[in-house]
Amino acid sequence: MQNPKLDLEGALIARDRVGIQDFVLLDAFTSENAFLENLKKRFSEDLIYTYIGTLLVSVNPYKNLDIYNQKQMDFYMGVNFFELPPHMSVVSLTTCTAHYALADNAYHTMLTEYNNHFILISGESGAGKTEASKKILQYYAVSCPSSAILDTVRDRMLMSNPVLEAFGNAKTLKNDNSSRFGKYMDIQFDTEGEAVGGHILSYLLEKSRVVHQNHGERNFHVFYQLIEGGEEDLVRQLGLEKSCQHYKYLAQGECSQVGSINDKNDWKTMRNALSVIDFDKSDIEHLFGIIASVLHLGNVHFEADSQGHASLLGHAELRWVSKLLSVNVQVLHEALTFRKFEAKSDEVLSPFTVDNAIYARDALAKAIYGRTFNWLVNRINQSLENQDSSRKTVIGLLDIYGFEVFHVNSFEQFCINYCNEKLQQLFIQLTLKAEQEEYEAEGIGWEPVQFFNNKIICDLVEERHRGIIAVLDEECLRPGDATDLTFLEKLEEKMGHHPHFVTHMLADKSTRRTLERGDFRLLHYAGEVTYCVVGFIDKNNDLLYRNIKEVMHNSKNFIVRECFPSTETESRRRPETVATQFKNSLQKLAEILMAKEPWYVRCLKSNENKRPGHFDDTLVRHQVKYLGLMEHLRVRRAGFAYRRRYEVFLKRYKPLCPATWPHWRGVPAEGVAKLVEHLGYKPDEYKMGRTKIFIRHPRTLFATEDAYELCKHQLAAKIQAKYKGYRTRGEFRRQKEAATKIENCWRGAQARKERERRAWAVKVIKKFIKGYMTRGEAKTTDNSEYLAFVRQNYLNRLKQNLPKTVLDKTTWQTPPPVLTETSEILRKLHYRLLVRKYVRGITPQRKAQLTQKVITSAIFKGKKDSYPASIPIPFEETRISEEDINIRALQLIRQERIKYSVPVVKYDRKGFKPRPRQLIFTASAIHLVEDVKIKQRVAYSALKGVTCSNLGDCIMIFHITCEDPKQKGDLIMECDHLFEALTKLCVIANKQDAIKVQQGSIKFEMNGGKEGFVDFGVGPQPMCYKEKNGHLMVVSTRVRGR
């Protein structure tokens, strides 16, 4: 197998087959078609990762490539960024995860330079951002040093994912596990590189999903997990039913069941994660109580009374809400149906219409869930908090929504796309800054790069007093009847001449056809997006009435009380709008990121239908445009496409120059200068920095790589030829000399052996012939050796074929005449030895067994059909242990010393009903036991005899003297161990002569002088039944081989 640690250049030789793994080396870097063709070529070979410098492009394959395992993590630990490509081996086309390479290099750069870093992960919903974030977090959990305390921190970091996914992710039309919030997570490391803490920031949770979902979408996962996976007791305590269709907030999308989601398993994972993160029982109870209250709140309905005011339709759901939120039900009822106004010192209640009440209900549901989510993030941060106040370095993970363009784009898309504008602005600034710093460090002149500066778009959105957000806030806050259309009119008034803003009124005739009257269009860095202003005012206000906040603040549920602090109700200032809050949080995020070194992951969807291996060119082109990948590539290619340290460049390409091959003894920079001079690089094609060579065009590098590949094969062929010739000639000489020597020695030895062998054979043959001719005479010199041969041959044959048992009388070898007497003596000795061994091998237990078997044989041999089959079956000491005998019955007979016991079936004397019993032989009597009762005791002296048939049945009849009035008559019993039981009876009671084997019917006596008969017969199936003549008929199967 090829070494998986191929460097960047090692992949260049396969570029025609699997594409360029770094877009910076793409010759036609300005061509979007060339960009897409390279992505598609790699995707078709399951190479889903490609670099643009240090930026990583990841294409979701929608199938498992088995690349996220411990082996791959080990490959990337401590390896330079370009030492391993984004795939393992271009020869075997095995894909590896470049997430690990990027994460590992960020980690080791942080340790080496002791500075802070962040990894920005962006892309459309369903492109794999959440999975990428989890894989990077898992990599840090595995690769960092370990201890008991650190393992706790890392476990909590990893377990925060399933919790935040449950509360912040939902199924959308594009993705079954879409993050509906932005997440930035700082992982804190100490000077040893150990993960010691973390902190999470969340952005713009999609609270509107709590109260409304489009068809084919779901609410947040946690609601379905609670309904489907919650324990019966918990669901009952929360007043819920095990059906999502019962709840308005869950039934709107009509897809509560999703094939790719297992809510029951996810519930268990989330509950376990809460325990790992150190949530106590009280926290969890209150948290799920809040989640359940949202579901109940959605089922609170209103109707109009005679005056058009809202009144509650049923109180059951509201009582559950008040119970779960620990608020007064009457106060809550009033807050949902009346608005409170303060007029000087008086409070006035104004009744709601049904629409107002529904708005208040939904606003409360969104506020409860959104604030609980923020509380949850803060609670996780407390568990991840690092207690050591010394300075720490951090690596941040930013999993943020990508550019969104839908058929209808609303307030959420406006905020998300504004976020992407800010990140693109930051992205270009940091990329240019990193490029400029590297050029300055290497002493290369910096050439200004022309690029689209999207500051004009950011200012259009966020500029104070003049931006779109400022105009939106002004409309939300001004008195009077502000609507979405008045907001649009204000935009047209203030932005009318802006080149990146257009509306239906401001557009020319051709553009006006594509715009509705309630739309405005922004020309973003990634393209045009049309926004519908409907809902902008309401969503930006996110209004929750003050009296509802007061009700929530007075809750006895500590989570609700924390989520609605008293400062809100006491303050008379209007809270900041959603857009302003989002703008401020983005500015703080930008400040955080600007203070760190950047790393980027751009995630792309390969197709909309999640088809494995399908590459949709149009969709991918759309994402490449909106993610600004071509712009980033243009910035990276504005100077030099390729740069490498002198040592690395010289080590690889030194075979191309005679002056540097095979060893360069001087300074690496001078060796590289000699090398590029020999290769004929033109002055404008490269620059020599302080520690690196910079090559401007990929074609220059490709030509060098192709020359190296050709040279490598030529060098290998020359070395192989020389070495093989040298080895072959030396080996030939040694073999020739050795063969000559061996041949001479062998021939001489074989000739001498042949002469001696023939002389010996002549003598032996002569003696053998003479011995055979005189074999009948007395022993002489001529026949002594022949007779010795005959004796030895016979004894050898006898040794190999000795009888193995005493019963074997036929295998003894027939002796030659001279050994007849000797053979007989040996035969007797051998059989005596076999007998002796057999006797010595018999144990006392075996001897007792054989003694009993002898008694059995004396009684039954030749008399009962089933006897031969019983011979090899050993007898047991007893068939029922004392533990299996009822303790009361045992106490009654224990003093008589139990000798043997066996389970039997006793047949009634009249109706012949079978009854299971235990038959126990003691030293003095026979006992028939049923559970705690001793049904019958028969002294051995009262036993006249025992009779059984000659067939293969297991029936035995005990004939009993009926002088004792307690005795009811003879006993008819069936025993599976008949031979064993009767033999034991003979030994214990000395009744061998009393046992009889009888052919035909057997008569038995009953109390009162009555008689009965047991008939015996043979049939295909064994059975016992009462015949019409009143006899007991026992049918047994025919025993073969009698």
Sheet (strand 1023-1026) strand order: 1002-1005, 1011-1018, 1032-1036, 1023-1026
Is residue 897 within 8 A of residue 923, CB to CB? The reply is yes
Whether 179 is catalytic: yes
Residue recorded with tokens 């995020």: 589
Is residue 170 within 8 A of residue 159, CB to CB? The reply is no
- E strands, 940-1010, are 943-949, 955-960, 971-974, 995-998, 1002-1005
**Cα distance between the two ends of the chain:** 71
Structure letter (DSSP) for residue 25 = G
State whether the Cα torsion 728-731-737-741 is positive or negative: negative
Residue recorded with tokens 């009597």: 925
Write out the H or E segment, with its range, that includes residue 393.
Answer: strand 393-399
Distance in angstroms (rounded) separating the CA atoms of residues 653 and 12? 13
Beta pairing partners, 522: 501, 529
Tokens linked to 71: 């082996």
> Shortest CA distance to 875 belongs to which of 893, 898, 857, 861?
857
Find the catalytic residue in 179, 322, 607, 866.
Answer: 179
Whether 160 is catalytic: no
Find the catalytic residue in 58, 122, 125, 383.
Answer: 125
Query: DSSP of 654-677, one letter per residue?
Result: GGG-TTTSS---S-HHHHHHHHHH
Distance in angstroms (rounded) separating the CA atoms of residues 83 and 702? 18
Beta pairing partners, 900: 921
Give how far Cα 427 sits from Cα of 113, 432, 448, 594, 838, Å.
21, 9, 17, 10, 95
Q: Does residue 201 sit in helix, strand or coil?
A: strand
Is residue 397 within 8 A of residue 121, CB to CB? The reply is yes
Whether 370 is catalytic: no
Strands 1002-1005 and 971-974: unpaired
Q: Does residue 29 sit in helix, strand or coil?
A: coil
Q: Per the omega criterion (within 30 degrees of 0), is the bond before 662 cis? A: yes
Distance in angstroms (rounded) separating the CA atoms of residues 322 and 330? 9
Q: Does residue 947 sit in helix, strand or coil?
A: strand
Give how far Cα 42 sits from Cα of 35, 175, 1022, Å.
11, 24, 77
Q: What's the number of CA atoms in the CB half-sphere (13 Å) around residue 1014?
A: 31
Distance in angstroms (rounded) separating the CA atoms of residues 419 and 886? 82
pLDDT for position 78: 43
Is residue 396 within 8 A of residue 185, CB to CB? The reply is yes
Whether 389 is catalytic: no
Distance in angstroms (rounded) separating the CA atoms of residues 1005 and 970? 6
Q: What's the number of CA atoms in the CB half-sphere (13 Å) around residue 278?
A: 13
Whether 437 is catalytic: no
Q: Does residue 1018 sit in helix, strand or coil?
A: strand
Is residue 21 within 8 A of residue 50, CB to CB? The reply is yes
Mean pLDDT by 10 residues, the chain (1042 residues): 37 58 80 89 86 85 66 45 36 43 79 83 80 80 61 80 91 84 87 84 87 90 93 92 91 87 92 89 91 93 88 88 91 88 72 89 92 93 81 83 81 88 82 75 74 82 90 85 88 89 89 90 86 90 83 89 81 80 89 85 87 89 82 74 81 84 84 85 82 79 80 84 91 93 93 92 86 78 83 89 85 85 90 87 84 90 90 90 88 88 92 92 91 89 92 92 76 93 91 89 85 91 90 86 48
Whether 404 is catalytic: yes
Residue 892's region, left for phi above 0, alpha for psi from -120 to 50, else beta, is alpha
Distance in angstroms (rounded) separating the CA atoms of residues 973 and 823? 57
Helices (H), 774-819: 784-800
Whether 130 is catalytic: yes
Whether 126 is catalytic: yes
Residue 939's region, left for phi above 0, alpha for psi from -120 to 50, else beta, is beta
> Shortest CA distance to 6 belongs to which of 70, 87, 71?
87
Find the catalytic residue in 10, 19, 126, 239.
Answer: 126
- pTM exceeds cut of 0.75: no
898, burial (CB in 10 Å: exposed 0-12, middle 13-18, buried 19+): middle
Q: Does residue 336 sit in helix, strand or coil?
A: helix
State whether the Cα torsion 207-210-211-213 is positive or negative: positive
Find the catalytic residue in 54, 97, 172, 178.
Answer: 178
> Shortest CA distance to 221 belongs to which of 277, 275, 269, 154?
269
Helices 354-384 and 281-298 meet at what angle, rounded to 10?
A: 160
Query: DSSP of 349-370, one letter per residue?
Result: EEEPPHHHHHHHHHHHHHHHHH
Q: Does residue 829 sit in helix, strand or coil?
A: helix
Find the catalytic residue in 54, 105, 130, 420.
Answer: 130
User: Any idea of the CA torsion for 549, 552, 558, 563, to the nearest 10 degrees?
Assistant: -30
Query: DSSP of 457-514, one letter per residue?
Result: HHHHHH-TTTSHHHHHHHHHHSSS---HHHHHHHHHHHHTT-TTEEETTTS-HHHHTT
